[in-house]
């Protein structure tokens, strides 16, 4: 290896990265490739361009063509539109990664946190035609040759995660696995929004962000609506696919529902005792089945031990005979494929056990809102939900990824508006207007011009009104801390009046508040001049030298009054970074200092 031609070595590393089949392998080969090419993914804004320039390899070029085509879309304005935004994404499931890709294309710095260190879900997702088109545009076929080669359109969850992880990394997204998000750390005078993470010394805990996207599956939610239907018990199972000619001949089942094929279900029940509402079979990395089973037959076949009205009690682990569940799932899969699948051996799940699971779909959840803005100490945080934590999908219908990706694009569109500087209430009202459409989307009622789909909702939803929700309807979603109680508001006003009185008449000084008016440093210098005219020559100061003026004032006040600066001169000089509470604290000391020492 050591003597290998450097070009060949980079080609080999690129090939290994493209073909990597586990999350760890993707991360390792990516890091080796970057090290070998001496390109630093932490330089997220220039990373993709530098990687392209360093890797002169025809296979890589085919990939760049695809990604460039996407990146050049007008929505992203060449990555400038969100260049100042910092986004934290919770969860490296398909929806978290898909959103991260869009945010990176918008030019934002993107950090993804994922608590697991492996992508282990064999289960297979149904893809609507637009998602296939979208994933082909991200070079899915290059990363996973079998992508959508079957008669039906689907992909396993883990393969989808691998594809999206690779694309995200290439676009400069930072992905940390085995890091769990635990909550927010509110801004202080000098820091912005941060996260509490586990392990608690992980550097991701230092990342300051102004956008947070939760894609944590069922985990992190706003207030949710519960949609309670009739009892629905889902069973999923996976069998090893050895990719033999015999297996290839067995037909997939895109979904047989009882009402459309009474005979099939009757025969199944008569011959095996298994009674189902529907069944789906996809041939992918594994032979995957998802079915909805009737409670009565699960009780009769001994899968569920005791009957309970409450679904949680009914499906509690202690009330399920796992061996009987394996027999039930095996029997249903065997019968529905005409007993033509040879050697049906269960594939293993992440825990090394036969991959069979039973889930309760009786009660589905949907978040009441898709967005929220929190503001503390003048620092705003935009929060959005995507994927299963926004709307829980009913797996047998395969809506998870289709609606999940729509929400990912909608969230990216929201961040775009945020990056453009739209007012928080307008951003929220627009996002909630779009969210109203999500649960009604079907493959039939979304736009059919898939190749034109972008993060712009008008390219995807047929009848969209971005203003159907008004700003006054989303006020409760803009959560601003009210730090000014009536006492402190009075004290602030008193301080402001004192500052105004003692800076009045100075050229280029106009104090109207306790933050932005102080940016040029001249107001602070004027205050010093009022009380100690010999310490400062106002005529020598230039309004545009804000950092110098602030530094000068800070030094004098420290030397003469013993007041240490509370922020750096450049923070004070930068209008966007001035923290009002820090300025108030500082000026209060200045006021006290001059009052005590002035006869
Ligand atoms: P997920 O894919 O659930 O990803 C969420 C990610 O967030 C996970 O990787 C999780 O580890 C991570 N996470 C959660 N909390 C934290 C935290 N605090 N800190 C860091 N990371 C966190 N759909 C179907 O259509 N058919 C199926 O058969 C099917 N089977 C499924 C089996 C399982 C076990 C699960 C969980 C889901 C299944 N789904 C299935 C749903 C489908 O996986 C989702 O619709 C799809 O993956 C999109 O989900 P997502 O990205 O929103 O969330």
| Alpha carbon of 370 to ligand 1 centroid (Å) | 18
Q: Could you tell me the pTM of the whole model?
A: 0.81
Nearest to 93 by CA among 389, 298, 406: 389
Whether the per-residue pLDDT at 3 is higher than 70: the answer is: no
| Alpha carbon of 394 to ligand 1 centroid (Å) | 13
In this predicted model, which residue has the larger pLDDT, 482 or 272?
272
Mean pLDDT taken over the chain:
92
| Alpha carbon of 400 to ligand 1 centroid (Å) | 9
Whether the per-residue pLDDT at 6 is higher than 70: the answer is: no
Map residue 223 onto helix, strand or coil. coil
Atom of ligand 1 nearest to the CA of 390: 52
Q: What is the mean pLDDT of residues 501-516?
A: 91
The runs of H, that is alpha helices, within 208-341 are: 245-248, 262-272, 295-300, 311-314, 322-336
Nearest to 522 by CA among 535, 534, 539: 539
Non-local CB neighbours of 524 within 8 Å, separated by 6+ positions: 518, 549, 550, 553, 557, 590
Q: What share of the chain is helix, strand, coil (3-state, %, to 5)?
A: 45, 20, 35
Residues 461, 433: Cα–Cα separation, whole Å: 12
Q: What is the mean pLDDT of residues 6-14?
A: 88
Percent of residues, the chain, with pLDDT higher than 90: 77
| Alpha carbon of 387 to ligand 1 centroid (Å) | 8
Task: Give the pLDDT confidence of 126-163 residue by residue, as tens digits.
Answer: 999 999 999 999 999 999 998 987 666 899 999 999 99
Residues 216, 410: Cα–Cα separation, whole Å: 17
pLDDT computed for residue 140 by the predictor: 97
Whether the per-residue pLDDT at 355 is higher than 50: the answer is: yes
Task: Give the pLDDT confidence of 236-257 residue by residue, as tens digits.
Answer: 999 999 999 999 999 999 877 7
Question: Looking at the DSSP assignment, which residues form a beta bridge with residue 281?
Answer: 253, 289
Mutate to test the pocket of ligand 1, among 93, 94, 407 (most ligand atoms within 8 A of CB): 93
pLDDT computed for residue 318 by the predictor: 95
Atom of ligand 1 nearest to the CA of 91: 7
Pairing outcome for strands 363-367 and 371-376: unpaired
Whether the per-residue pLDDT at 484 is higher than 90: the answer is: no
Closest C-alpha to ligand 1, atom 31? 123
Atom of ligand 1 nearest to the CA of 113: 20
- Tell me: cis bond preceding 488? Omega within 30 of 0 counts: no
Closest C-alpha to ligand 1, atom 42? 400
Joined tokens for residue 147: 């992508």
Nearest to 55 by CA among 93, 15, 92: 15
pLDDT computed for residue 326 by the predictor: 98
CB 139 within 8 A of CB 414: no
pLDDT computed for residue 570 by the predictor: 84
Q: Is the ipTM of this complex over 0.85?
A: yes
Pocket around ligand 1: residues whose beta carbon is below 6 Å from it? 90-96, 113-116, 121, 123, 125, 157, 180-181, 215-217, 219, 236, 290, 387-388, 393, 395, 398, 400-401, 404
Range from 89-103, 387-401, 471-485 that averages highest in pLDDT = 89-103
Map residue 222 onto helix, strand or coil. coil
pLDDT computed for residue 34 by the predictor: 97
Whether the per-residue pLDDT at 483 is higher than 60: the answer is: no
| Alpha carbon of 581 to ligand 1 centroid (Å) | 41
Mutate to test the pocket of ligand 1, among 23, 88, 90, 91 (most ligand atoms within 8 A of CB): 91
pLDDT computed for residue 219 by the predictor: 53
Q: What is the mean pLDDT of residues 211-226?
A: 79
Q: How confident is the model at residue 43 (pLDDT cuts 50, 70, 90)?
A: very high
Q: What is the mean pLDDT of residues 362-387?
A: 92
pLDDT computed for residue 395 by the predictor: 79
Residues 540, 451: Cα–Cα separation, whole Å: 61
| Alpha carbon of 140 to ligand 1 centroid (Å) | 20
pLDDT computed for residue 535 by the predictor: 93
Task: Give the pLDDT confidence of 534-590 residue by residue, as tens digits.
Answer: 999 999 999 999 999 999 999 999 999 888 887 788 888 886 667 777 788 889 889
pLDDT computed for residue 598 by the predictor: 56
Task: Give the pLDDT confidence of 413-470 residue by residue, as tens digits.
Answer: 999 999 999 999 999 999 999 999 998 999 999 999 999 999 999 999 998 999 999 9
Whether the per-residue pLDDT at 2 is higher than 50: the answer is: no
Q: What is the mean pLDDT of residues 509-527?
A: 92
Closest C-alpha to ligand 1, atom 45? 400
pLDDT computed for residue 221 by the predictor: 56
Q: How confident is the model at residue 1 (pLDDT cuts 50, 70, 90)?
A: very low
Closest C-alpha to ligand 1, atom 39? 395
What is the CA 80 to chain-centroid distance, rounded? 20
The number of beta carbons lying within 10 Å of the beta carbon of residue 508 is: 12
CB 483 within 8 A of CB 378: no
| Alpha carbon of 515 to ligand 1 centroid (Å) | 44
């Amino acid at each position: 290896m050591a003597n290998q031609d450097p070009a060949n070595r980079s080609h080999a590393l690129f090939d290994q990265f493209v073909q990597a089949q586990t999350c760890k392998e993707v991360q390792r080969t990516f890091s080796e490739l970057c090290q070998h090419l001496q390109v630093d993914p932490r330089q997220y804004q220039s990373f993709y361009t530098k990687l392209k320039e360093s890797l002169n390899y025809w296979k890589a070029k085919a990939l760049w063509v695809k990604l460039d085509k996407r990146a050049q879309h007008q929505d992203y304005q060449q990555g400038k539109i969100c260049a100042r935004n910092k986004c934290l994404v919770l969860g490296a499931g398909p929806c978290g990664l898909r959103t991260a890709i869009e945010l990176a294309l918008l030019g934002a710095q993107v950090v993804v946190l994922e608590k697991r260190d492996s992508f282990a879900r064999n289960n297979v997702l149904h893809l609507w035609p637009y998602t296939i088109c979208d994933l082909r545009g991200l070079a899915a076929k290059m990363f996973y040759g079998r992508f959508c080669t079957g008669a039906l359109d689907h992909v396993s969850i883990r393969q989808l995660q691998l594809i999206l992880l690779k694309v995200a990394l290439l676009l400069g997204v930072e992905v940390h696995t085995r890091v769990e998000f635990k909550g927010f750390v509110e801004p202080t005078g000098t820091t912005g929004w941060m996260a509490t993470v586990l392990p608690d010394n992980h550097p991701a805990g230092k990342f300051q962000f102004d956008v947070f996207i939760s894609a944590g599956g069922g985990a992190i939610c706003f207030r949710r609506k519960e949609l309670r239907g009739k009892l629905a018990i889902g069973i999923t199972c996976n069998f090893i696919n050895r990719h033999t000619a015999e297996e290839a001949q067995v037909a997939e089942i895109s979904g047989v529902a009882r009402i459309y094929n009474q005979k099939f279900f009757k025969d199944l029940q008569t011959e095996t005792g298994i009674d189902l509402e529907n069944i789906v079979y996809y041939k992918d990395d594994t032979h995957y089945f998802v079915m909805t089973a009737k409670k009565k037959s699960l009780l009769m076949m001994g899968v569920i031990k005791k009957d309970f009205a409450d679904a949680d009690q009914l499906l509690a682990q202690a009330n399920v005979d796992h061996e009987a569940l394996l027999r039930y799932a095996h029997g249903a899969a065997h019968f529905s494929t005409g007993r033509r699948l040879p050697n049906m051996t269960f594939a293993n799940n992440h825990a090394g056990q036969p991959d069979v699971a039973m889930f309760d779909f009786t009660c589905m959840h949907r978040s009441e809102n898709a967005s929220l803005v929190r503001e503390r100490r003048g620092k705003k945080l935009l929060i959005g939900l995507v994927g299963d934590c926004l709307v829980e999908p009913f797996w047998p219908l395969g809506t998870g990824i289709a609606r999940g990706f729509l929400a990912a694009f909608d969230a990216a569109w929201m961040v775009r508006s945020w990056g453009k500087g739209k007012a928080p209430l307008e951003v929220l009202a627009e996002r909630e207007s779009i969210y109203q459409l999500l649960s009604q989307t079907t493959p039939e009622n979304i736009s059919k011009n898939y190749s034109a789909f972008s993060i712009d909702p008008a390219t995807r939803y047929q009848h969209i009104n971005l203003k159907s929700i008004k700003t006054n309807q989303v006020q409760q979603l803009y959560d601003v801390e009210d730090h000014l109680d009536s006492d402190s508001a009075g004290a602030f006003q008193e301080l402001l009046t004192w500052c105004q009185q003692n800076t009045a008449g100075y050229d280029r000084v106009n104090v109207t508040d306790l933050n932005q008016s102080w940016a040029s440093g001249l107001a602070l210098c004027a205050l010093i001049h009022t009380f100690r005219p010999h310490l400062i020559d106002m005529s020598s100061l230039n309004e545009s030298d804000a950092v110098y003026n602030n530094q000068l004032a800070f030094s004098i006040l420290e030397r003469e009054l013993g007041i240490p600066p509370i922020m750096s001169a450049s923070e004070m000089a930068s209008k966007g970074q001035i923290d009002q509470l820090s300025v108030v604290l500082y000026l209060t000391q200045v006021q006290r200092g001059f009052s005590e020492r002035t006869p």
